[in-house]
């Protein structure tokens, strides 16, 4: 009641205030006041002031806001008065704003805080100057606040433990997590007010969590579901070694209806097939290749997985083949086992004495030496992983003279004379090893047979003697060396009197011929000074005494001489024939122009036609080159004289000046000549003039002595005009 009385009193006082002076009122900046934007619980307002009188700053802006659409006709004084009261008759927000002179003309902004979302609000705004003089009327604005935004709890998911990182997206302000459902309890770390808190549950299972936000009149919630799965445990069992391509896998099964397992090959070459299928804990895997493989047993529960590996070595089972035994003369025997896979080992199974193996008992072609004559059994055992196989042979050692294959050596070609020492039995040569084939001449039974191989390299030859069904073998090594590689270098051309350095390549000792033309015939790069074309041969000898040769030609060329022929003088003729001395062997010639002009029908021919010559001197050079010596050259000058027409004829037929003769006429093509008398009359015309006018007119009558005017025109020149005198 007291508050109401106070309000009524203030209104009465307000109504008694004097009228404002219009001239002193502040004015709004164009476009203001106006609502800029709204939120669920706020309205953003733009405003700005200008002042008629600059002395009236600072100004004051008064604002009241109703939480409904108010159509009342309120005064400026009422608005200023009600800014002191909040909550009266639906007023939910007031504001008193100061505007300084520095803000004159600017658009300012203020945010009005409200309590009701999605509702129409009425705003009254009025301004006063520094003398508290108000604008005549307040400005009325309306705006609807936005609805409350929905809460966003983020996304749920599946978890393979009992912790889950929540991810709420705040929309209104402060929020709070809570558990809606689930088999156990939940703890939020660091607290349930953190949007991205980590929730920890006490039991595995499916939980629903709620994120609730509150801000004034806005309340919103959102829920997510999280599945907390107990992580499975995988145990692939044991691997091992296998002597074929099949292996029985045996994963350990845990009693859980949610758990499913799958086998896969995760390391190793080839492919794998699981029978009956890859989902059986106890399955048989068949691989396509031998080798070490890794198999992985992967179990799942929900979205959770666990894996365990086993390693299985699939070893190729060896097939031992000890070769053939037999009777042997002496205490030594060469085995000839055929290796398959794994590591092989020779052992003595039985016999009257002991046995030693060289180079060791793992060599399939090892040499065995026994301590006593008699019959022995030897075993060749191959082991690959845990797989093994054995094969036995029997060898009888008899006391007789051992085979002696003589000595081997180094050979610089593909044949070698063997030198076995014959014993009491029948001997035979054979190739034990080597990169090519071998043939024996005249046959393989001669101790001194000549062996010829198909390819160079290291060869072992066995001399085997047989006597009384016993054999004895001795082996020698012969190395057939390829001829050493030698290159005498590229052929060269030099000029007579010059020297050149030869450049051979290869590894060994060099020897050049002919030596008398070289600075040092025993080096790879001697200096050669031949006076004529010479072929030099280099011979290379390597460390085994093997030789090979190559040749290089030094072409010695004499210096060329050039003769371009005699000079020529032509009367208004612009072409002629050139005749120079011809190039010699290994030489070439070329015509070039030094001064003037010229076109050659064949510039490389010593005899050629030249045309397009210029008046005056044309200097032409004939050059001869042999690509080794400096070119030789000679010059020919062709002078072309100007066209000369006669100025006097004496046609008395005494043999002197009887005709109008033009030198060089034959080079001018078709020529027209016209003769005019002193009165301008044409007295003679020839359209194909041939130096045959003898002072007569067109009718053959002799013209009198006088001076005549001529016009001379050829198809290659402009018209030429002049005077000619006829005198008898």
Question: Where does the pLDDT of residue 14 fall: very low under 50, low under 70, confident under 90, or very high at 90 and above?
Answer: very low
Name the token pair of 340: 């398959």
In this structure, the number of other CB atoms found within 10 A of the CB of residue 186 comes to 19
Joined together, the tokens standing for residue 149 give 């935004």
Q: What is the mean pLDDT of residues 359-382?
A: 93
Residue 295 to residue 304: CA distance in whole angstroms: 20
Tens digits of per-residue pLDDT, 565-600? 999 988 778 889 999 999 988 889 999 999 999 999
Q: Give the pLDDT band of residue 174 (cuts 50, 70, 90).
A: confident
Both structure tokens of 225 = 């579901």
What distance in Å separates the CA atoms of residue 496 and residue 532, rounded to the nearest whole number? 7
Model confidence at 12, in pLDDT bands (50, 70, 90)?
very low
Q: Which of 364, 360, 375, 365 is nearest to 320 (CA)?
A: 364
Residues 206 and 225: beta-carbon distance below 8 Å = yes
Q: Which of 97, 115, 12 is nearest to 60 (CA)?
A: 97
Q: Given 3.90.105.10, 2.60.40.10, 2.60.120.620, 2.60.200.30, which CATH number is that of 157-228? A: 2.60.40.10
The CA distance from 295 to 649, in Å, is 127
Cβ atoms of 718 and 643 within 8 Å: the answer is: no
Per the prediction, the chain carries an average pLDDT of: 89
> Minimal CA–CA distance to 501: which of 514, 520, 483?
520
Give the model's pLDDT for residue 469.
67
Contacts from 250-259 at CB under 8 Å and sequence distance 24+? Answer: 250/281, 250/282, 251/281, 251/282, 251/297, 251/308, 252/281, 253/281, 254/299, 256/232, 256/301, 258/229, 258/232, 258/301, 258/302, 259/232, 259/299, 259/300, 259/301
- Residues 95 and 110: beta-carbon distance below 8 Å: yes
Contacts of 641 (CB under 8 A, 6+ apart): 569, 570, 571, 572, 615, 663, 664
Task: Return all residues near 587 (Cβ < 8 A) that are at least 6 apart.
Answer: 560, 624, 625, 626
Q: How many Cβ atoms are within 10 Å of 118's Cβ, its own excluded? A: 12
Burial of residue 81, with CB atoms counted within 10 A of its CB: 0-12 exposed, 13-18 middle, 19 or more buried: buried
Quick one: pLDDT band at residue 644, thresholds 50, 70, 90? confident
**Residue 111 predicted with pLDDT over 90:** yes
Fold of 326-398: Immunoglobulin-like (2.60.40)
Distance CA(274)–CA(284), nearest Å, equals 6
Intrachain domains 2-144 and 648-726 with the same fold? yes
The answer, yes or no, to whether residue 135 has pLDDT greater than 80, is yes
pLDDT at 218 over 80: yes
What CATH number does the domain located at 568-641 have? 2.60.40.10
pLDDT of residue 401: 64
For residue range 505-554, what is the model confidence (pLDDT) as tens digits? 999 999 999 999 999 999 999 999 999 999 999 999 999 889 999 999 99
Q: What pLDDT does 255 receive?
A: 59
Residues facing 673 on adjacent strands: 686, 712
- H or E, element range at 617: strand 616-625
Give yes or no for a contact between 172 and 152, defined as CB atoms under 8 angstroms apart: no
C-beta separation of 261 from 277 below 8 A: no
Strands 218-228 and 157-159: parallel
Q: For 240-314, which CATH class?
A: mainly beta
CATH of the domain spanning 648-726: 2.60.40
Q: Is the pLDDT of residue 134 over 60?
A: yes
Quick check: helix, strand or coil at residue 4?
A: helix
Residue 224's CB is within 10 A of a number of other CB atoms, namely 21
Range from 230-239, 342-351, 485-494 carrying the lowest mean pLDDT = 230-239
Supply the DSSP string of 533-581, one letter for each residue.
-EEEEEEEE-TTS-EEEEEEEEEEEPPP-------EEEES---EEEE-P
Q: How confident is residue 13, by pLDDT bands cut at 50, 70 and 90?
A: very low
pLDDT of residue 385: 80
pLDDT at residue 8, as a whole number: 40
- DSSP-derived letter for residue 6 is H
Burial class from Cβ neighbours inside 10 Å (0-12, 13-18, 19+) for residue 4 reads exposed
Q: Could you give the CA distance from residue 76 to residue 74 in angstroms, rounded to a whole number? A: 7
Q: pLDDT tens-digit profile of 657-685? A: 899 988 877 777 888 999 999 999 999 99
User: So what's the pLDDT on residue 465?
Assistant: 86
How does pLDDT run across 239-250, given as a tens digit for each residue? 888 888 999 999
pLDDT (0 to 100) of residue 257 = 53
For domain 2-144, the CATH superfamily is Immunoglobulins (2.60.40.10)
Q: Which residues contact 705 (CB under 8 A, 6 or more apart)?
A: 725, 726, 727, 728
Candidates 2.40.50.150, 2.60.40.10, 2.30.290.10, 1.10.10.410; correct CATH number of 492-557?
Answer: 2.60.40.10
DSSP state of 507: S
Note the pLDDT of residue 429. Answer: 95
Name the residue with higher pLDDT: 385 or 415: 415
Show the 3-state SS of 60-122.
EEEEEEECCCCCCCCCHHHHHHHCCCCCHHHEEEEEEEEECHHHCCCCEEEEEECCCCCCEEE
On the question of pLDDT at 16 being above 60, the answer is no
Residue with tokens 């604002």: 63
Instruction: Give, for 370, the enclosing helix (H) or strand (E).
Output: strand 367-370
CA dihedral 284, 286, 290, 293 (to 10 degrees): -60
Query: So where are the chain's domains?
Result: 2-144, 157-228, 240-314, 326-398, 409-480, 492-557, 568-641, 648-726
How many whole angstroms separate alpha carbon 202 and alpha carbon 485?
86
Does domain 409-480 correspond to CATH entry 1.10.357.10?
no
d(CA 602, CA 610): 9
For residue 592, what are the CA distances in angstroms to 27, 407, 576?
Answer: 101, 75, 15
| Per-residue pLDDT at 24 exceeds 70 | no
What element of type H or E holds 710?
Answer: strand 706-714
Give the model's pLDDT for residue 25: 80
Comparing CA positions, the residue from 405, 387, 566 lying closest to residue 476 is: 405
Q: What is the CA 537 to chain-centroid distance, rounded? A: 48
- Coil, strand, or helix at residue 705? coil
Q: What is the pLDDT of residues 249-268, one digit of tens each?
A: 999 887 555 568 899 999 99
Inform me whether the pLDDT recorded for 15 exceeds 70: no
Q: How does pLDDT run across 38-76, given as a tens digit for each residue?
A: 988 899 999 999 987 788 899 999 999 999 999 888 999
Q: How far apart are CA 365 and CA 475, in angstroms?
A: 13
Phi, psi of 667 (to 5 degrees): -95, 0
| For the chain, percent of residues with pLDDT exceeding 90 | 65
Taken as a whole, the chain contains a residue count of 728
């Amino acid at each position: 009641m007291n508050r109401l009385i106070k309000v009524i009193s203030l209104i009465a006082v307000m109504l008694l205030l004097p009228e404002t002076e219009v001239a002193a009122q502040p004015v709004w900046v164009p476009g203001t006041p106006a609502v800029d934007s709204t939120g669920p619980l706020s309205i953003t307002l733009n405003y700005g002031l200008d002042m008629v009188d600059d002395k009236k700053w600072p100004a004051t802006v008064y604002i009241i806001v109703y939480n409904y659409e108010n159509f009342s006709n309120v005064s400026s004084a009422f608005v200023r008065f009600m800014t002191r009261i909040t909550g009266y008759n639906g007023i939910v927000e007031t504001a008193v704003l100061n505007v300084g002179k520095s803000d004159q003309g600017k658009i300012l902004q203020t945010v009005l805080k409200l309590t009701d979302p999605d509702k129409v609000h009425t705003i009254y705004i009025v301004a006063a100057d520094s003398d508290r003089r108000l604008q005549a009327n307040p400005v009325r604005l309306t705006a609807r606040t936005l609805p409350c935004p929905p809460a966003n709890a983020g996304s749920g998911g599946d978890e393979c433990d009992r912790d889950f990182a929540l991810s709420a997206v705040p929309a209104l302000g402060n929020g709070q997590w809570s558990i809606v459902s689930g088999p156990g309890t939940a703890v939020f770390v660091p607290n349930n007010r953190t949007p991205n808190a980590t929730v920890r549950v006490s039991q595995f299972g499916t939980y629903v969590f709620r994120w609730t936000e509150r801000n004034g009149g806005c309340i919103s919630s959102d829920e997510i579901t999280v599945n907390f799965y107990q992580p499975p445990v995988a145990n692939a069992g044991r691997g091992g070694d296998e002597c074929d391509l099949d292996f029985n896998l045996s994963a350990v099964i845990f009693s859980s209806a949610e758990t499913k397992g799958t086998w896969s090959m995760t390391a190793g070459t080839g492919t794998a097939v699981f029978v009956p299928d890859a989902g059986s804990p106890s399955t048989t895997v068949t691989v396509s290749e031998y080798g070490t493989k890794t198999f992985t047993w992967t179990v799942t529960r929900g979205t959770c997985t666990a894996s365990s590996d086993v390693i299985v070595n699939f070893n190729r089972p060896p097939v031992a083949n000890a070769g053939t035994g037999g009777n042997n003369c002496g205490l030594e025997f060469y085995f000839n086992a055929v290796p398959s896979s794994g590591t092989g080992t020779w052992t003595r199974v039985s016999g009257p004495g002991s046995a030693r193996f060289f180079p060791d008992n793992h060599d399939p072609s090892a040499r065995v030496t026994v301590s006593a004559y008699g019959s022995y059994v030897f075993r060749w055992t191959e082991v690959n992983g845990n797989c093994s196989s054995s094969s036995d042979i029997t060898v009888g050692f008899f006391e007789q003279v051992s085979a002696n294959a003589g000595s081997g050596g180094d050979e610089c070609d593909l044949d070698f004379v063997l030198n076995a020492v014959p014993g009491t039995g029948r001997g035979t040569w054979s190739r034990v090893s080597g990169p090519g084939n071998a043939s024996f001449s005249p046959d393989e039974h001669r101790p001194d047979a000549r062996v010829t191989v198909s390819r160079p390299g290291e060869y072992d030859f066995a001399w085997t003697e047989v006597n009384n069904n016993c054999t004895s073998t001795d082996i020698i090594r012969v190395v057939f060396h390829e001829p050493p590689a030698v290159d005498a270098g590229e052929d060269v051309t030099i000029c007579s009197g010059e020297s050149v350095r030869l450049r051979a390549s290869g590894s060994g000792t060099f020897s050049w011929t002919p030596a008398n033309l070289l600075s040092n015939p025993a080096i790879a790069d001697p200096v050669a000074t031949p006076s004529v074309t010479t072929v030099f041969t280099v011979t290379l000898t390597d460390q085994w005494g093997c030789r090979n040769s190559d040749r290089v030609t030094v072409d010695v060329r004499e210096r060329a001489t050039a003769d371009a022929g005699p000079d020529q003088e032509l009367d208004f003729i612009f072409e002629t024939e050139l005749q120079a001395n011809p190039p010699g062997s290994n030489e070439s010639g070329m015509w070039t122009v030094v001064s003037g002009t010229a076109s050659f029908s064949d510039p490389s021919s010593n005899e050629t036609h030249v045309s397009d010559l210029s008046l005056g001197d044309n200097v032409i050079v004939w050059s001869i080159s042999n690509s080794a010596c400096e070119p030789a050259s000679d010059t020919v000058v062709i002078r072309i004289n100007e066209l000369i027409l006669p100025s006097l004829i004496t046609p008395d037929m005494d043999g002197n000046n009887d005709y109008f003769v033009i030198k060089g006429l034959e080079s001018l093509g078709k020529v027209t000549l016209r003769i005019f008398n002193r009165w301008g009359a044409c007295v003679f015309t020839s359209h194909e003039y041939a130096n045959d006018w003898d002072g007569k007119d067109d009718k053959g009558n002799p013209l009198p002595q006088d001076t005549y005017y001529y016009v001379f025109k050829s198809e290659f020149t402009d018209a030429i005009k002049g005077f000619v005198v006829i005198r008898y």
